[in-house]
Structure 1
Amino acid sequence: MAGKNSGDNRTRTSVSIFIIAGLCCFFYLLGAWQRSGFGKGDSIAVAVTKTAGENCDVLPNLNFETRHAGEAGGTDESEEVEELKPCDPQYTDYTPCQDQKRAMTFPRENMNYRERHCPPQEEKLHCLIPAPKGYVTPFPWPKSRDYVPYANAPYKSLTVEKAIQNWVQYEGNVFRFPGGGTQFPQGADKYIDQLASVVPIENGTVRTALDTGCGVASWGAYLWKRNVIAMSFAPRDSHEAQVQFALERGVPAVIGVLGTIKMPYPSKAFDMAHCSRCLIPWGAADGILMMEVDRVLRPGGYWVLSGPPINWKVNFKAWQRPKEDLEEEQRKIEEAAKLLCWEKISEKGETAIWQKRKDSASCRSAQENSAAKVCKPSDPDSVWYNKMEMCITPNNGNGGDESLKPFPERLYAVPPRIANGLVSGVSVEKYQEDSKKWKKHVSAYKKINKLLDTGRYRNIMDMNAGLGGFAAALHDPKFWVMNVMPTIAEKNTLGVVFERGLIGIYHDWCEAFSTYPRTYDLIHANGLFSLYKDKCDFQDILLEMDRILRPEGAVILRDNVDVLIKVKKIIGGMRWNFKLMDHEDGPLVPEKILVAVKQYWTLGDTNSTSSQ
């Protein structure tokens, strides 16, 4: 009996040990599952990505090549998908917040009617903007600088209105851009050479530039080869398609105007600002428009003014304007420049150049009876729909420019705003970690989309730019990135983006972006839909992405899986080919990647096409 009992005891002991070990393993796995977030829709994501094969870097059914597309995929048949229909042909070039009919209902005073006026929710379109018949992929850079397919922007008015100014010429099935302009009939290159004799354009000191009233953006187009990136803007007015031409050429541009609202850029953003016969009344209203340029111009930055009223004594007859008016206009500009502590460093022919002093505060204190009114202490980067102020933005309070490196060192050097502790919650260490993280992410993207390095994508947008890590990791002369800072972002870091030698803009994605349809080749969005969850309709954001994306353009979305599952369902009705993929660190990470290609289709097509 004793032997039998000891055997039973040993059996029970073995079973107990086995049960305890099993429970330990179970709770360990349960804890890992809870920490990873697995289970929040991850099973769906894993099932989808498995269809791409064992190696998630290979997408056999998603073709990024021009004028080709793979079979549509990514949506379960059991899901109810709303098919979004094409809009009427009249909306081919629709710009919701700069709609011409709506604009004419607003007052013309101070260009108010040319500012952003977006439709209310009940008037928003819920359809897909069609491309014009015959639309083709733009030429690769640098050929795109000089040639634009006629079918992509079929407007000849500028070829007639600006025929003698060498802006644009119509030749067969293309527009040709000779590089001329109203103020540089010999070409933008020679004009920039003249500026470079005064402004340090060649050594990386001047990297970011603002071109106000840019026309077809030839100035910005020819600055590119000198490693200067220009943000160009012009209104949607009688000169049809100025900004559309600029973006078809592969030059950064937005629809915009200097009116009553502050420009959508942070303070101290640009190394140089430029106006070439831009018809902006700089001397009006005691120089308020010059004060706004001063806000976005870095201490030590340059302002270039070409055309009227400079050298009015010689040119007033050619300009067909009374010399008294021109003399008064220049007097007001000179007075405003003096008040802003801008020093005129050159005036040659019809071009004058001022430099903003680095220590403008001491300059103004030395001026006797100065009429300068300094803005009250506030955030100079808070600009979205805020009115311009009749005051001068102080230099202090948002970065130290003495430590700003020349470009390209600037790209990965610690930005002054971060070095000086002016971005809450972002230390030098966190900034460096962010840069490292985005190098890793971009490396993964290049494995997913082999065309990222080829120049296939010229105009790229990052819809939620953060510290600019995506654009910095992707940096290449073959393309540029529009870094968008959502106005509802937790941290306003657009100033940091500019300090890295990149460009960007503030925007609220509950509204349409200030651009024409089909102006971006690739759109990236990190955490955007999580940010706008419960703020506005995901469908509205996705329709806006579709509006500004070229046919056969690519999309990369990075977000939490539960959000991307909702996004995926909407995309299923949008004529996009797409796949949901795991994070580069594996399926247990709740953050996923959705990649997509917009199908090629044009006006009159009953179905989208995958090849021609």
Structure 2
Amino acid sequence: MANGSPKHHHQLEAKRKRLTWIVGVSGLCVLFYVLGAWQHSSPLSNLTQSITKADCDVSNHAAVSYNPPSSSSSLALDFDSHHQSQINNTASVNEIPPCDMSFSEYTPCQDTQRGRKFDRSMLKYRERHCPAKDELLLCLIPAPPKYKTPFKWPQSRDYAWYDNIPHKELSIEKAVQNWIQVEGDRFRFPGGGTMFPRGADAYIDDINELIPLTDGSIRTAIDTGCGVASLGAYLLKRDIISMSFAPRDTHEAQVWFALERGVPAMIGIMASQRLPYPARAFDMAHCSRCLIPWHKNDGMYLIEVDRVLRPGGYWILSGPPIHWKKHWKGWERTQEDLKQEQDAIEAVAKRLCWKKVVEKNDLSVWQKPPYHIDCIASRKTYKTPHICKSDNPDAGWYSLNMHILIRRISYTNLIC
């Protein structure tokens, strides 16, 4: 009776089903193995069939052979070049000779001798003027006679070899301002400046108290009239990269010192041509006694700063006329003259719809608006500069002159 119980019957049925599944799966495995072995045993016939189905000419494949790789030997790889160009070793190579050593400081498009031929109004003669075709030098500009490899960063921020920039004029003329010092065979850059005698580091800390320099909102800066670019050198430690520029003048190309220090810099001046940068390229613009007449020419230079500043970007001014009530005697200017200049700068900033953020001690900060909705409405009060839609604000090469107009910020091209 026990063997005929329903429980025993269900156990037998379950075993039978499991056995059936095992046999079925094993049979499928054997079948697939046989099929796979059969396919690999006749590759040429399969290749011929596939070519025939594709209406191809199998005669071109008559030489096809199949050699299955041996598992015991590695496949030989061909690394030889099969495409070679013919080089004519018999042809002579035109070697460009070096220029005379008197040209070691020659900058083709910033030649002071050539610049004297141009208009002196608005300092146009100091702008970029490249040589004509018949004036081109067909020789290589030599390095100074004892030039050596510059110091590596970050040591280069503080030191440069004297032989690489053999000029002591700045160390004498700017000795009180602590721009640069001569120490044996090298220059040392203490980080001082005309408006930051305590050093660029402390000066940047003062700016950081007025606007945020460490939250990532300011990443790029342009420093006008940069001296030896100490501001740009010390901004790097705050993850802000700056482009510094200054004209080539009696200081023997201050930019040369900046480049030897490893700081991005270029010879340039704000005269009549646009800066060679697209619109909204910088988060911050800076001028520390850069001697640019911001209030003149209908505010054209501030308008150019407005072009390269991003919406919401900052313009920082220190030096004349800021804090003129304290410094007017040292600047050897009258109080009336300095007050008029600051009032004129304030007026241009208002016409540009800039907001004055703060003025504290020797620093004054303005901010470009994030959009121009309110600025468009203000044109009823301020007739100039006009707000332009069609002007190409990104065109910034040397042949383009500055214009007295505001490049409109729209919602479609807003960059924050």
- TM > 0.5 fold call: yes
Q: Which amino acid aligns with 1:309?
A: P
Aligned: 1:401 with 2:415:
yes
Q: CA deviation at 1:366?
A: 4.2
User: Which of 146, 151, 162 is residue 158 of structure 2 equivalent to?
Assistant: 146
Aligned length: 343
Answer yes or no: is the 8 Å Cα contact 1:339–1:364 preserved in 2.
no
Whether the 8 Å contact between 2:371 and 2:414 is mirrored in structure 1 is no
Q: In 2, distance between residues paired with 1:386 and 1:376?
A: 17
- Are 1:313 and 2:325 an aligned pair? yes
Which stretches of structure 1, 4 residues or longer, exceed 3 Å deviation after superposition?
Answer: 22-25
RCO higher in structure (CA 8 A, sep ≥6): 1
Given the alignment, which residue of 379, 394, 397 partners 2:392?
Answer: 379
Q: Deviations over 1:16-41 (max 9, x none)?
A: x885227999xxxxxxxxxxxx99xx
- Residue of structure 1 equivalent to 2:142: 130
Query: What is the aligned counterpart of 1:44 among 85, 91, 95?
Result: 85
Q: 1:391 — aligned with what?
A: 405
C-alpha change, 1:23 and 1:357, in structure 2 (3 Å) is farther
Does 1:20 pair with 2:32?
A: no
- What is the aligned partner in structure 1 of residue 213 from structure 2? 201
State the shift of 1:297 in Å.
0.4
8 A Cα contact 1:136 1:149, kept in partner: yes
Partners in 2 of 1:331 and 1:78 — Cα distance?
Answer: 72
The letter for the 2-side match of 1:288 is M
Counterparts of 1:5-404 in structure 2, within 5 Å, are: 20-21=60-61, 43-44=84-85, 77-366=89-378, 368-372=380-384, 373-384=386-397, 385-396=399-410, 399-402=413-416
Opposite residue 20 of structure 1, the aligned amino acid is N
Instruction: Say if 1:184 and 1:82 are closer, same or farther in 2 by CA, change over 3 A.
Output: same
Distance (whole Å) between structure 1 residues aligned to residue 264 and residue 287 of structure 2 = 16
Q: Which runs of 5+ in 2 are unaligned?
A: 1-56, 66-80
More moved, 306-315 vs 246-255: 306-315
In the TM superposition, 1:573-592 aligns within 5 A as none
Contact in 2 for aligned 1:341/1:364 (Cα 8 Å): no
The amino acid across from 2:372 in the alignment is: S
Task: Answer whether contact 1:189 1:222 (CA < 8 A) is retained.
Answer: yes
Unaligned runs of 5+ in 1: 1-16, 26-37, 46-74, 403-612
- Change in 2 beyond 3 A, CA 1:23/1:333: farther
Partner of 2:23: none
TM-score (norm 1): 0.54
The farther-off stretch of 289-298 and 367-376 is 367-376
Tell me, yes or no, if the aligned pair for 2:376 and 2:387 is still in contact at 8 Å: no
Q: Offset of 1:359 from its aligned partner?
A: 2.3
Contact conserved, 1:138 with 1:144, CA < 8 A, in 2? yes
- The answer as to whether partners of 2:180 and 2:188 remain within 8 angstroms in 1 is yes
Kept after mapping to 2: 8 A contact 1:361/1:394 = no
Alignment RMSD (CA, Å): 2.1
Cα separation, partners in 2 of 1:344 and 1:21, compared to 1, 3 Å: same
Q: In the alignment, is the contact (CA less than 8 A) between 1:169 and 1:177 conserved in 2?
A: yes
Contact 2:179–2:192 (Cα < 8 Å) also in 1: yes
Q: For residues 360 and 168 of structure 1, what CA distance do their matches in structure 2 show?
A: 43
SS at match of 2:301: helix
Paired with 2:155 and 2:354, the residues of 1 have a C-alpha distance of: 38
Amino acid at match of 1:284: K
Residue by residue, what CA displacement relative to the aligned partner does 1:377-401 show, whole Å, maximum 9, x if unpaired? 1321112211100111111287322
* C-alpha contact (below 8 Å) 1:347/1:353 kept by paired residues: yes
1:155–1:241 contact (8 Å) kept in structure 2: no
Larger-gyration structure (1/2): 2
Aligned-partner Cα distance in 1 for 2:153–2:85: 40
- CA deviation profile, 1:516-536 (whole Å, cap 9, x unmatched): xxxxxxxxxxxxxxxxxxxxx
